[in-house]
Structure 1
Amino acid sequence: MSRQQREVIDALLRSAPRSETPPTVEEQRSGFAGAIGGPAPQGVATRRTVLGGRPALELTPEGASERGHLLYLHGGGYVIGSPDTHARLVGELARRAGLRTTSVDYRLAPEHPFPAAVEDGLAAYRELLEADIDPRDIVIGGDSAGGGLALATLLAARDAGLPQPAGAVVFSPWTDLTLSGASIHGKQDADPIFIEADLRAYADLYIGAGDRSQPLVSPLFADLAGLPPLLIQVGANELLLDDAIRLAGRAGADDVEVTLEVGRELPHVFQHHFGHLDEADEALDRAARFLSAQLHAARTAVAVA
Structure 2
Amino acid sequence: MTQQQRQALDELLRHAPFDIGGELGEQRALFHEMIASVPLPEDVTATPGRLGGIPVVTVETPGADSSSVVLYFHGGAYALGSAGDSVGLAADVARRVGVRAVSVDYRLAPEHPFPAAVDDAVAAYRALLADGTPSSEVAFVGESAGGGLVVATLVALKEAGLPQPSSAVVFSPWADLTLSGDSLTGKADVDPALTAKGLQIRARGYLGETDPATPLASPVFADLTGLAPLLIQVGSHEILLDDAVRLAARAADHDVAVELQVWPHVPHVFQGFAALLDEADAALTSAAVFTRAHWPAG
Following TM superposition, where does structure 1 have runs of at least 4 consecutive aligned residues deviating by more than 3 angstroms?
none
- The answer to whether the aligner puts 1:14 opposite 2:4 as a matched pair is no
TM-score normalised by the chain length of structure 1: 0.94
- The answer to whether the aligner puts 1:27 opposite 2:26 as a matched pair is yes
SS of aligned partner of 1:125: helix
SS of aligned partner of 1:83: coil
- Give distance in 2, aligned partners of 1:166 and 1:172: 20
SS of aligned partner of 1:151: helix
Q: Who is 1:116 aligned against?
A: 116
- The answer to whether the aligner puts 1:230 opposite 2:224 as a matched pair is no
Amino acid at match of 2:30: G
- Give distance in 2, aligned partners of 1:61 and 1:55: 20
Matches within 5 A, 1:1-305: 1-17=1-17, 23-37=22-36, 38-295=38-295, 298-299=296-297
- Give distance in 1, aligned partners of 2:238 and 2:227: 26
CA positional deviation for 1:299: 4.2
TM-score normalised by the chain length of structure 2: 0.96
- Give distance in 2, aligned partners of 1:283 and 1:299: 22
Deviations 1:123-166 (A, max 9, x none): 00100111111100000010000001111111111110001010
SS of aligned partner of 1:67: strand
CA positional deviation for 1:209: 2.6
CA positional deviation for 1:71: 0.3
CA positional deviation for 1:16: 2.2
- Give distance in 2, aligned partners of 1:112 and 1:282: 36
Name stretches of at least 5 consecutive residues in structure 2 with no aligned partner. none
Contact 1:39–1:87 (Cα < 8 Å) also in 2: no
Deviations 1:11-44 (A, max 9, x none): 111112478xx63211110011111234543322
Contact 1:148–1:174 (Cα < 8 Å) also in 2: yes
- Give distance in 1, aligned partners of 2:222 and 2:30: 33
Name stretches of at least 5 consecutive residues in structure 1 with no aligned partner. 301-305
- Give distance in 2, aligned partners of 1:40 and 1:166: 28
Contact 1:175–1:247 (Cα < 8 Å) also in 2: yes
CA RMSD, aligned part only? Answer: 1.4
SS of aligned partner of 1:10: helix
- Give distance in 2, aligned partners of 1:94 and 1:2: 28
CA positional deviation for 1:66: 2.9
- Give distance in 1, aligned partners of 2:72 and 2:265: 26
- Give distance in 2, aligned partners of 1:13 and 1:63: 34
SS of aligned partner of 2:67: coil
SS of aligned partner of 1:75: coil
Q: Who is 1:303 aligned against?
A: none
